[in-house]
Amino acid sequence: MFALLRFHPFKDSKFTVRVFYSRLLPVGNTTAIANYNLQDVTTNIVRVNYDWTISPTLLNHVGFGFSRFRNPNFSLSYNQGWEQPNGGKLGLTGTQYDLFPTIQFSTQGYTRFGDDIASDNYFNTFTVLDNLTWIRGKHTIKMGAETQAHRDNYRNFGTGGGSFFFSALETGLPGVANAGNAFASFLLGAVDNGYSYFRSSLPGGRYKYYGAYIDDTFKVSTRLTLDFGVRWDYFLAARFEDGLQYNWDPKTGNVIVPQSALASVSPLYPKTITVAAGQVVPNPSKANFAPRLAAAYRLAELPLVEPCLAPGPQRLQPSRPGVHRPCRQQESRGHPRLSAARR
Domain limits, the chain: 2-245+281-300, 246-280, 304-343
The reported pLDDT for the residue numbered 316 is 46
Report the C-alpha gap between 141 and 133 in whole angstroms: 6
Closest CA to 81 of 94, 67, 98, 101: 98
pLDDT at 313 > cutoff 80: no
The reported pLDDT for the residue numbered 26 is 67
Report the C-alpha gap between 145 and 52 in whole angstroms: 17
Q: What is the residue-wise DSSP string for 12-23?
A: TEEEEEEEEEEE
pTM: 0.74
The reported pLDDT for the residue numbered 243 is 87
Percent of the chain with pLDDT over 90: 59
pLDDT digits (tens, 9 = 90+) for 84-121: 999 999 999 999 999 999 999 988 888 888 888 899 99
Q: What is the largest CA-CA distance in the chain?
A: 117
pLDDT band, very low/low/confident/very high, at 242 (cuts 50, 70, 90): confident
Report the C-alpha gap between 277 and 331 in whole angstroms: 96
Average pLDDT over residues 229-258: 92
The reported pLDDT for the residue numbered 337 is 43
For residues 338 and 176, the model is more confident at: 176
pLDDT digits (tens, 9 = 90+) for 218-229: 999 999 999 999
pLDDT digits (tens, 9 = 90+) for 33-47: 666 778 889 999 999
pLDDT at 315 > cutoff 70: no
The reported pLDDT for the residue numbered 306 is 56
pLDDT at 333 > cutoff 60: no
pLDDT band, very low/low/confident/very high, at 336 (cuts 50, 70, 90): very low
Distances (CA, A) of 272 to 215, 251, 253, 255, 268: 55, 16, 11, 11, 11
Neighbours of 304 (CB within 10 A): 9
Closest CA to 184 of 174, 195, 194, 169: 169
pLDDT band, very low/low/confident/very high, at 329 (cuts 50, 70, 90): very low
pLDDT at 80 > cutoff 70: yes
